[in-house]
Chain A
Amino acid sequence: MQWFLVFVLIGVAGGAGSVVRALLARFDGWLPYGLFLANSLAAGLVGWLLAGPTLTADYLTVLTVGFAGGLSTFSTAMKASFDFYHRGRLVQSAITMVGNLFIPMVALMLAAVLR
């Protein structure tokens, strides 16, 4: 595939991932469950893609860098943790931080094992 086409497809996949993340963000309660879910689904997808189906390098790049990258987010995790901290909810802030680190890791390992 031409470099430019890969670049454009990464944009389309990244946009689609972001829309899914925005929709998942509505599952919000005592903790940002939708955010955990988005990051875990993205990590799970990456784990599954790298362990499972045979894809050409270009499609793999589009799906991992584009879709999973757009679906997962570091900045929103920092925002969620900071918002709790700012309102004096230190326990929720800490769980959000640690959860965003470990839950996607578990998702990635599970996806790689269950492929």
Chain B
Amino acid sequence: MPNKAKLLGYVFLGGALGAMLRYLIFEAIAGLASYPTYELIALFVVNLTGAFFLGITARYPYFQLETCRNLWGVGFAGSFTTMSALTLWIDYQGLGIEVIAMFAAGFALYWLGFEIGRKAARRQA
């Protein structure tokens, strides 16, 4: 069983990768549209893909190792998605249907990822 410091090291590594990739995606999308459109598109992209990916990690066999779960689940998927930027968006733009839609779609995509991972686990069992 890996010790706690090592597991937190994996969280750090995954978190660093997630934050850097999110920054790149925001910068890339910022070049395609103007504020606030790009911010909303980028939020949808990172939060929905991140929720879907975290769903896959829940049951998919590869991610059942504690180190992989900490690196890709807690670290990467956790850091890749953001709530603070979404909260700031709501503060500036108001709580609209797009935010509700993001929560609903995030839940649904997490579920889809969860089922994909579960199927893969069944195939392997």
Contacts and interface: CB of A to CB of B under 8 A. Distances in A.
Interface of A: 7-8, 10-19, 21-23, 25, 39, 42-43, 45-47, 50, 64-66, 68-79, 81-82, 86, 97, 100-101, 104-105, 107-109
User: Dominant SS at the B interface?
Assistant: helix
B84 A15 contact: no
B25 to A, nearest CB: 11
Which of B26, B50, B80, B88 lies at the interface centre, i.e. has the most chain A CB atoms within 10 A of its CB?
Answer: B88
Contact of B106 (A16, A42, A74): A74
B53 A75 contact: yes
24 contacts: A7-B24, A12-B16, A14-B15, A14-B20, A15-B15, A18-B14, A22-B78, A45-B84, A46-B88, A64-B85, A65-B22, A68-B84, A70-B15, A70-B19, A72-B85, A73-B79, A75-B110, A77-B106, A78-B106, A78-B110, A82-B110, A97-B103, A104-B83, A108-B87
